[in-house]
Every structure is written in C-alpha cells, then in structure tokens.
Amino acid sequence: MKTKTNTLSEEKGKAVIVIGDGAAIPLKRDAGLFTAWRIAFVGACLILAGLIIFKPDPYLQIFKFLPDGIFVTFQVTIGSIALAIVIGLVAGLGRMSKIRIINLIASTYIEIIRGIPLLVQLFYLYYALGRFLLVPDILAAIIAMSVCYGAYMAEVIRAGIESIDWGQTEAAQSLGFNRTQTMFYVILPQAWRTILPPVGNEFIALLKDTSLVSILAVSDLLRRGREFASESFLYFETYTMIAIIYLIITLILSKLVAQMEERLGRYEQR
Amino acid sequence: MSKDKKPIIHISNVSKHFGDFKALEDVSLEVETGEKVVVIGPSGSGKSTLLRTINKLETISKGSIVVNGFDLNAPSVDINKVRQDVGMVFQSFNLFRHKTALENLTLAPIKLRNTSKEDAARQGLALLAKVGIEGKADQYPVQLSGGQQQRVAIARALAMNPKIMLFDEPTSALDPEMIGEVLDVMVKLAKEGMTMVVVTHEMGFAREVADWIVFMDEGRILEIGTPTHFFENPEHPRLKKFLAQIL
Ligand SMILES: Nc1ncnc2c1ncn2[C@@H]1O[C@H](COP(=O)(O)OP(=O)(O)OP(=O)(O)O)[C@@H](O)[C@H]1O
Ligand SMILES: [Mg+2]
C-alpha cells in the first residue's frame, strides 16, 4: 500500500515529507484503508451507543460527566495548532533566512525543542509561565504545546516551501514582487498542499498529545475521566469510555483532513 | 547602438564570477528603446547569465548596468520597482501553478499597481486574446499545452506594461509544432515597437526581427552585427564555426 506522499513523489518529483505518529489519513482511492476507517468508526460508535443504551449505569453517568473535558480538549487542540502554525511559519521562514542571527535563533529553537521530551517541556513551560507570568492554566497549556509543536511544524513548513520550484520565485521576482510578497502570494499557497498532509497528521497527533496536559491542572477529557474514576472507583469502565471517545474524535478529524487535502489538490488534477 | 539616442539598457564592462569560474568577462552592450537584440552562442557561453543580470536575478561581480535610468548597483535603487518595468519570459514558463491563466495575468497588476480587479481582468482578457488563447482564461497551467503556457507567460509579463522584455530561450522547451505559435506572438510584439532582448537558437526569428545579433562565447561578446552582416559575412572564426553547426 502506498502513502499519499510516496505517490506524490513518484508522480511529480515533489519532496516527500513523512512524519509518523499521527493517525493515517484515509484516501478515497486507498480502498483498504478507507474500509479500515469505516470499520473503526462505525464500530466505535456502535460500542459507545450500545454501552450507553444497554448499561446506562454507569456508562451514561460517565458519558454525562465528560463533555466539559471534551470541550477543554478541543480548546487546547485548536488553540495549540493555530499557535503552532504561526510559530512554525516564523521559525520555518527564520531557518531559511539569509540573515545569520535570525537563522541561528530559529535553528537553535528547533534543536532545543526537539531534544527535550514533550512531557518535560510541558511541565517546564507550564510552571514557568504560571510562576513568572501568571498565565491562566489553559492558556499556559496551549502555549506549552504550541512551542513544542511549532518546532516540528517549522521543519514541515520549511520542507514544503523548499519543495516549490525555484522558477516560481524567479517568475514572481521578475514581475516586481519583493521577497515577502513572493512568499505569501506565490510560494505559500502552493507549498500549503505539500504541507497540509503532514500538518494534518501533526494536528491529530497533537490532539492525542493534549491528553498529557491532564497531568497539569487542566480539566481536559482525560482528567475529567480520572476525576470520575477516582470518586467512583470505576477505572475500567471510565477509561473504556475515554478511549472510545478519543478514537471517535481522532477518526472524524482524520476524515476532515483528508477532505480538505482533496479539495486543495483539485487544481492539480486533470 | 547609434550615438544619437540614450540607451534604455546600458551594460558596461560587466564581469560575473561563480567562484573561480568566469561566466561573464568584460561584457559591454547598449540597447536603445524599441531595439530588438538577439543573443546567440553555444551552451554555457553566458547568454542566460547576461540576460539575468539585466533584471538583477543575477548580481554582477564587476562593471555597471543601467536599466531605464536606474543603476542596478546603486544602494538606493529599488530593484522591485525596476523589475516592474522589465518583463521576463523563461524557458520553463514558470506560470504560477495555483492560479488560472487569467489570475496569472492579474496578480501582479492588482498587488503591485493597485489596479482594480475588474480593470485587471478586462486588461488580462484583452492580453489573452492578443496571444490567441482567450478561451483558456479559466484553465490552470497543468491543463495547458507548452505553447499555450508560454503564451500565457508572455501575456503575464505584458500585463505590467513593461518597457523592456527579456526572453531566455522561450521556445527551447517546446515541441516543434508549438514553436511557431510562440514566435508569432514575439514577432507581433516586436512589430509594436517593444524593446526586446532575446536569447534563442531560432535563426529565422533572429533574421526577421533582430536589429542586432550578439554572439557570445566563453563569457565574452565576440561579435555584434546586423542580421545581414551575421549571416552573409560573419567575421570571427568561432562565429563561423557556430553558424556552420546550427544552420
Ligand atoms: N549559479 C551558478 N553557479 C555556478 N556556475 C554557474 C551558475 N550559473 C551559471 N553557471 C555557469 O556559468 C556558465 C554560463 O551559464 P549560462 O546559463 O549563462 O549559459 P548559457 O549560454 O545560457 O547556456 P545554455 O545555452 O546552456 O542555456 C555555465 O558554464 C554555467 O555552468
Ligand atoms: Mg541559458
């Protein structure tokens, strides 16, 4: 089975960006994976519904307890991805800058972040932000997540930009566009297509990694589950629900990313 | 190249080194408004490098270049402003792949000249008609043939109303049956009085259109002359050899 990026590289000679970890993004033409997606999604929904309907005690109670956490998980995910893209763009462009000092700062940031485990960074930034800047919990978690993910995003964005033929830059510059205009009007709109699949994967990976913030004082989905479990002692039942809900959210998200990708790829198709 | 008018392109004693390699060596050339100059020479002789110095896609190591009254090496020069008046057409077209044919034409006027979208579209459609592909306005570059893409690329450059047009082997990447349609557009442009510098191997075009032909070899200009001079009594032995090979 081929992945999208591989197919791209074979067909068009484009750069390949392969970032593991995230859920596989299903493709229409990739029939096997598509079926796997369906089985997982329908199965998870059926199990969830079945548990709630046929064993409302305790599953319905657990389910009712969780929406607040789901909301917080979404908040952290969406906030982090947005901020991570901005940080990634700045750092990615910084790494390509000809100005030495900017290049050095961006490269150092990426190097440092990639060398420290996410959980350690989360603890560190979270407590540093809370202590010195009195940043509220959720915001501190978002900043910590996006500082970390921004470094990975920067590499993805840089690779995407570098995959665009230099002739595009020359054509834009010969019309009179300056470097910034060239980047935003010509290069990024094209690079976005190469960037999107790995960013989509990062997005999904980030959603799952937000479960780490439950260790901080942020009431995300996992933390809400832990709270419920520690009061009711229903550990197994609670974590079953948590796992199914994460799975459903992740599957929906991967579907959305696949659809967005398809739409962006349209003008390339005959 | 006559003495009574002021040249719009003034290249004096230009050298360009890539490390130890001398891509251009003491090159001087003047082009007056409305003149068409065709540059020929063997592969690697520095034709593209010379052309690209005129809009500073390539910086120079020595000498000076004045385009449209702007000294390209002056610290105060706004190169982006200079480039707005110098159109360039590439061998590989380089159309913006994420834009339709019409959008390729309207992007620069809208963003750089503050032309309204409606005006830019109207002018863009007129230019597409001029290069003979008005029916393809909404097609993306991948949907166009090479000849069509190159004509869109010419129209894109023209959309900025340039005073000078530079062509770097505009037909070299094309299938033979499409070369004619692109050359026709260039001939039309020449007849309208556009100032043109064209690197090409199309000797028929050179003979028909050029005011001057420039022969380059190993980074130097070895001979400059009218088409009649070039094809009837070339002087430099290397030019004779080159012409014998390609004619
Ligand atoms: N960026 C660069 N770095 C090093 N050498 C270069 C660079 N660009 C061009 N050259 C060299 O300079 C010489 C002149 O190149 P140029 O592209 O101007 O030749 P040309 O006359 O246009 O040839 P062709 O007909 O093949 O296009 C070549 O030998 C080329 O290898
Ligand atoms: Mg060349």
For residue B87, the cross-strand partners are: B165
What pLDDT, on a 0 to 100 scale, did the predictor assign at position A8? 36
Put residue A28 in one of left, alpha, beta given phi > 0 → left and psi -120 to 50 → alpha.
Answer: alpha
What pLDDT, on a 0 to 100 scale, did the predictor assign at position A214? 86
Residue B106 predicted with pLDDT over 60: yes
Residue B113 predicted with pLDDT over 80: yes
Of B84, B142, B153, the CB nearest to A176: B84
Residue B63 predicted with pLDDT over 70: yes
What's A186's DSSP letter? I
What pLDDT, on a 0 to 100 scale, did the predictor assign at position A153? 92
What pLDDT, on a 0 to 100 scale, did the predictor assign at position B174? 95
Interface test with B, best of A174, A185, A188, A263 (most B CBs within 10 A): A174
Rounded to the nearest angstrom, the minimum Cα separation between B86 and chain A is 7
Answer for the pair B54, B231: CB distance below 8 angstroms, yes or no: no
Q: A175, B156: Cβ pair inside 8 Å?
A: yes
Measure the CA–CA gap between B219 and A269, rounded to whole angstroms.
42
What pLDDT, on a 0 to 100 scale, did the predictor assign at position A4? 36
Measure the CA–CA gap between A36 and B239, rounded to whole angstroms.
68
What pLDDT, on a 0 to 100 scale, did the predictor assign at position B186? 97
The rounded Å distance from CA B94 to ligand 2 centre is 15
Q: B157, A175: Cβ pair inside 8 Å?
A: yes
Query: What percent of chain A stands above pLDDT 90?
Result: 46
Answer for the pair A85, A73: CB distance below 8 angstroms, yes or no: no
Nearest atom within ligand 1 for CA of residue B47:
21
HEC readout, B168-203: ECCCCCCCHHHHHHHHHHHHHHHHCCCEEEEECCCH
Q: Is the CB of B43 under 6 A from ligand 1?
A: yes
What pLDDT, on a 0 to 100 scale, did the predictor assign at position A6? 36
Q: Mean pLDDT over residues B133-147, rounded? A: 95
H or E segment to which residue A188 belongs: helix A188-209
Q: Is the CB of B200 under 6 A from ligand 1?
A: no
Find, in chain B, the residue whose alpha carbon is nearest to that of A265.
Answer: B98
What pLDDT, on a 0 to 100 scale, did the predictor assign at position B156? 98
Nearest atom within ligand 1 for CA of residue B49:
18
**Predicted confidence (pLDDT) per residue in B200-224, tens digit:** 999 999 999 999 999 999 999 999 9
The rounded Å distance from CA A10 to ligand 2 centre is 28
| Ramachandran angles phi, psi of B165, nearest 5° | -120, 130
| Chain A residues close to B84, C-beta within 8 Å | 175-176
Model pTM score: 0.81
HEC readout, chain B: CCCCCCEEEEEEEEEEEECCEEEEEEEEEEEECCCEEEEECCCCCCHHHHHHHCCCCCCCCEEEEEECCEECCCCCCCHHHHHHCEEEECCCCCCCCCCCHHHHHHHHHHHHCCCCHHHHHHHHHHHHHHCCCHHHCCCCHHHCCHHHHHHHHHHHHHCCCCCEEEEECCCCCCCHHHHHHHHHHHHHHHHCCCEEEEECCCHHHHHHHCCEEEEEECCEEEEEECHHHHHHCCCCHHHHHHHHHHC
What pLDDT, on a 0 to 100 scale, did the predictor assign at position A267? 52
Q: Mean pLDDT over residues B137-150, rounded? A: 96
Rounded to the nearest angstrom, the minimum Cα separation between B127 and chain A is 16
Domains of chain A: 5-269 (1.10.3720.10)
What pLDDT, on a 0 to 100 scale, did the predictor assign at position A15? 54
B98 CB within 8 Å of a chain A CB: yes
Query: Atom 12 (ligand 1): residue with closest C-alpha?
Result: B23
Q: B57, A181: Cβ pair inside 8 Å?
A: no
What pLDDT, on a 0 to 100 scale, did the predictor assign at position A26? 58
Q: Is the CB of B49 under 6 A from ligand 1?
A: yes
Beta strands B86-89 and B164-168 are parallel
Q: Is the CB of B39 under 6 A from ligand 1?
A: no
The rounded Å distance from CA B58 to ligand 2 centre is 13
Q: Mean pLDDT over residues B87-91, rounded? A: 98
N- to C-terminal Cα distance for chain A? Answer: 24
Q: Mean pLDDT over residues B53-58, rounded? A: 96
Q: Please give the order of strands across the beta sheet that includes B62-67.
A: B21-32, B7-18, B62-67, B70-71
Answer for the pair B148, B166: CB distance below 8 angstroms, yes or no: no
What pLDDT, on a 0 to 100 scale, did the predictor assign at position A265? 65
Interface test with A, best of B94, B99, B164 (most A CBs within 10 A): B94
**Predicted confidence (pLDDT) per residue in A108-162, tens digit:** 999 999 899 989 988 888 888 877 887 788 888 899 899 999 999 999 999 999 9
More reliable by pLDDT, B167 or A35: B167
Measure the CA–CA gap between B218 and B236, rounded to whole angstroms.
14
Q: Mean pLDDT over residues B24-37, rounded? A: 97
Q: B111, A178: Cβ pair inside 8 Å?
A: no
Q: Which residues in chain A land under pLDDT 50? A: 1-14, 269-270
What pLDDT, on a 0 to 100 scale, did the predictor assign at position A266? 60
Q: Mean pLDDT over residues B111-124, rounded? A: 96
Handedness of CA B126, B127, B131, B137 (dihedral sign): negative
Q: B83, A189: Cβ pair inside 8 Å?
A: no
Q: Which of B14, B22, B49, B214 to mutate to test the pocket of ligand 1 (most atoms within 8 A of CB)?
A: B49
What pLDDT, on a 0 to 100 scale, did the predictor assign at position B45? 96
> Which amino acid is located at A90 in the chain?
V
Q: B83, A174: Cβ pair inside 8 Å?
A: yes
> Which amino acid is located at B186 in the chain?
M
| Helix, strand and coil in chain A, % to nearest 5 | 80, 0, 20
* Confidence tier at B4 by pLDDT (50, 70, 90): low
Of B80, B86, B142, the CB nearest to A178: B80
